[in-house]
A and B are shown apart, each in its own frame.
Chain A
Amino acid sequence: MSDAMPSALEVAITLDGRDTTLEATPATSLLRALRDAGATATTGACEQGECGSCSVEIDGRVECSCLVPALVCHGSVIRTVRSFVRADLADALAEHGAVQCGFCTPGIVVAAEAALADPEPLTEHGVRESLAGNLCRCTGYEGIIAAVLRVDEARRDASGRERTG
């Protein structure tokens, strides 16, 4: 094998609303490229597509950033937890004890907001299914699930009032 690493290429993306240039070789995952560029809000517990902690949105789709080669993201719009976090969900997670070590949390927020985008009211089973790809070793998930359900209900009430009011 050649001992030299393939040289890094530049990948231009929009990251959380800002034009950003990442450096990556063909072997670099989007997760690594983001983290190497100092965008460490997105964590990675397995780099194998099993834990969901690296979840980000790429051009409107939530994906495990550890499984996506950074080079294919050239020109993409990428949103991490930094874009997704909203006060109501943050408050609900905190109040329900949904955060202990917090390593899973950025991925949970991205997955939860993706679930909350569903036009139908969420059910407990539905939330469990939406979050089944996001491992959490600390909390036992109940607080996370309760927080997401509460936010879904509150947002529906609010938009209902807007419509009728």
Chain B
Amino acid sequence: MSVESLVDAPATGASPIGRSVPRPDVPPKIDGSFEFSNDVSVAGMLFGATVRSPHPHARLVHLGISAALSTPGVVRILTLDDVPTRARTGHIVADAPPFVDGVARYVGEPVAFVVARSQELAWRAADLVEVTWETLEPLTDPDLALTPDSQRVHPDGNVIRELCLERGDGPLTADVIVEGTWSTGRQDQAFLGPESALAMPDVDGGVTLVLATQDLHTDQEQIASVLGLEEEQVRLVMSGIGGAFGGREDITCQVHLALAALATGRPVKTTYRRAESFLAHPKRHPATLRYRMGADRDGTFRFVEADIVLDGGAYASTSGPVLGSACYFAAGPYRVPVVRVRGRAARTNNPVCGAMRGFGAVQACFGIESTVDLLAAELGIDPIELRRRNVLAPGDEFPTSGQRVGPSAPLRELIDRCTALPEPAPLPGDPTHPYDLPGGTGLTTDGEHVRRGVGFALGVKNHLYGEGVTERSVATVTVTANGATIRSAAAECGQGIVSALAQIASAALGGMPVEVEPATTEAGYSGSSSASRQTWMSGAAVRQAAAEVAARLLTDAAGRAGVTPDDVELVPDGALVGDELISLDELVGDEPIVATTEYRPPRTHRGDPTTGQGDVHVSWMFVAHRAIVDVDVELGLCRVAQVATAQDVGRALNPREVRGQILGGITQGIGLALNEHLETRDGHVVNNTFTDYLIPTAADVAPVEAALIEEPDPDAPFGLKGVGEPSALSSTAAIAAAIRTATGAPVHRVPVRPDDLLT
């Protein structure tokens, strides 16, 4: 899209749905008055610093805290002995101790938490904690970890989850068969706002935390269980979130801070430093994907066989569902009669992996799309044409689960619209600006050996959790004489949920002004802002609650005017009966009108235990990416010249924010394709700074052309689909494909390294 088209044309009609309404959180973010979690402070607060394991695998022999404790300004040092329960954290599998319990299993695992009068003092004292370790051999190869006589990383064993999907009978044979092994890097969410929170003791023996998290209630549950408190005694208040992308789904500092606040009777805050942040939160799983795929001579897909191994790191985090996602999307959005997928998530002594935008489907997409390209080459069929012949259509069976595909699956349209988007100017013979060349302002390229390649990929993922996990979201809408307020626990990570919820409520209430209260655990459960679910889930809950309130206002107004509710219309400042306005003040008086509703989407089911077949998802989001990449084939340097995308958005609630998600996700996709990998050597992270872990800058990003396909999903509120993840699904695979066409190199892994391209 041209950058100007980001500004939406003024919408017609009164409904705010489909309009790029302004976001209330944006002005304070621009003038610096917005309060992020690390901006929060209260008088008399103490500061915490985490002592972490320097070893990927080591026995904790002795923890000497006396020197650190006697440092001036140090108030308390917490260790495992101070934890009142044996409970573990982990919201799928509770397997991670709050502090190393006997054996450290990854670099950065917390050992102790130092509480001092200032953050600097706490850090200095943390360095004085004497830890004696007996180092053990780290197990860092996930394939090795899955062999039967491997050493065990954890008492639970090394297989976090194994999943086999089987669909269709018949031998895995075909006219043409290709094989490929693909791998993906350990991408960090690299949100800019570091982990930070404040915990305060409460008079009832409980604790209040002010923090940045994707899911207040899941944090609450875990904190309460480790502290041995009732859930009601753990109160969470959301502060500003400096980005998340999946990296704030797990416990990092929360339990330590809560313990510290209770142990000292004082408020305690901590803020991680960047190098620590890189070690502390789970990241995108490195994956190895081994594929065999067959087709008839005419290009009809016959079978897909995939073996997927994810490196989950030392603790389970969300590895189980991420593996589910990797497996269920391993055959892409295609008709494939015979599918065999085996996936395993392994424990290793590498950094813990969990949720990141795209959640396993990114890795699967790179695997299947790369394999489809191999097949196209072998068949001599254009790769886009081959996809067009095999994509799913409404009513088909989903290839990995057998689930019936609903009416909203506009794959052919995605292909057509994406490929029709304008291409950038041809490679300049005499480039005028070095930014347009591989290597950028490094001026490394003379331009002579630059080749251009075009690549194409399709992506698919479900919205919402799936696989039988209970889905619900609760919201409360209150109308007073001043307008409406929404109470919801949904996390605003920057994606715009606050304005989306206000938009939805306002639409149901005749355009009434709507405010969204700060999110706390006092609000009902909303589930996490993840899985492209929050606008759908909490949007639906808000819509129901607002509709109930609206119905009561209408009835009330009708009663006063002696007409039927059908004769009444809600308007921003009250209700209109004919020409007569009944003001909100008159209507509501001193009794606010309140409705709390819980929304539950259509149910999903766990797949069959042996074949994985079943209705495991609510519905799917589809996306197409075309990448144009210039490569200096002598130097192995790549520059993305353009990314074009068509995205199935159901209904764009706020087109500006939808485009924002598209641009942001593509940029992260460029990062994974070209640069982003948290490198480890024998379990030690080597690039945990922004000096060495390179996220795309303004000089690296490519122009984006985007087409939104609006084909409403019948199950979703307003027909909207999730928009957070698709942009990250297939942009990486399309870039890799473009590099292949430019260079002829096989590009078996992302991020692509220069030596992968030199032949």
A binding-site residues for B, Cβ under 8 Å? 3-5, 25, 27-28, 35, 38, 40-43, 45-48, 50-51, 53, 80-82, 85, 90, 93-97, 99-106, 109, 125, 127-129, 131-146, 149-150
Contact = CB atoms under 8 A, between A and B. Distances in A.
Contact of B690 (A28, A42, A50): A50
Residue from B191, B244, B659, B697 having most chain A Cβ neighbours under 10 A: B697
A108 to B, nearest CB: 9
A82 B32 contact: yes
B3 A96 contact: yes
B107 to A, nearest CB: 19
A46 B3 CA distance: 29
A142 B3 contact: yes
Contacts of A103: 36, 191-193, 242-243
A102 B121 contact: no
A106 B35 CA distance: 12
Contacts of B691: 48, 50
B273 interface: yes
Contacts of A129: 435, 441, 699
Given A43-B36, A94-B22, A97-B660, A145 B699 contact: no
A25 to B, nearest CB: 8
Contact of A97 (B243, B656, B704): B656
A53 B6 CA distance: 24
B121 A5 contact: yes
B245 interface: yes
Contacts of B35: 40
Given A43-B36, A109-B30, A128-B699, 16 more contacts: A25-B120, A40-B35, A48-B689, A48-B690, A51-B192, A90-B30, A94-B26, A94-B30, A99-B26, A101-B493, A104-B192, A105-B30, A106-B30, A132-B697, A133-B697, A146-B6
B681 interface: no
B30 A85 contact: yes
Smallest CB-CB A-B distances: 4 pairs: A41-B32, A102-B29, A101-B494, A140-B663
A45 B6 CA distance: 27
Nearest to B440: A132
Given A81-B31, A81-B32, A138-B494, A43 B193 contact: yes
Majority DSSP secondary structure for residues of A touching B: loop
B32 A144 contact: no
B33 A105 contact: no
Contacts of A134: 697-698
Contact of B32 (A80, A131, A132, A145): A80
Interface in B723-739: none
Contacts of B128: 3
B150 interface: no
B30 A99 contact: yes
A128 B639 CA distance: 15
A132 B278 CA distance: 22
B513 interface: no
Interface in B334-385: none
A42 B32 CA distance: 7
Given A97-B6, A104-B192, A138 B664 contact: yes
Contact of A46 (B70, B118, B493, B689): B689
B39 interface: yes
A4 B73 CA distance: 9
B549 to A, nearest CB: 29
B701 interface: yes
B23 interface: yes
A100 B3 contact: no
Given A4-B72, A94-B30, A129-B435, A101 B274 contact: no
A50 B381 CA distance: 46
A5 B4 CA distance: 53
Interface string B23-52: 101110111111110110100000000000
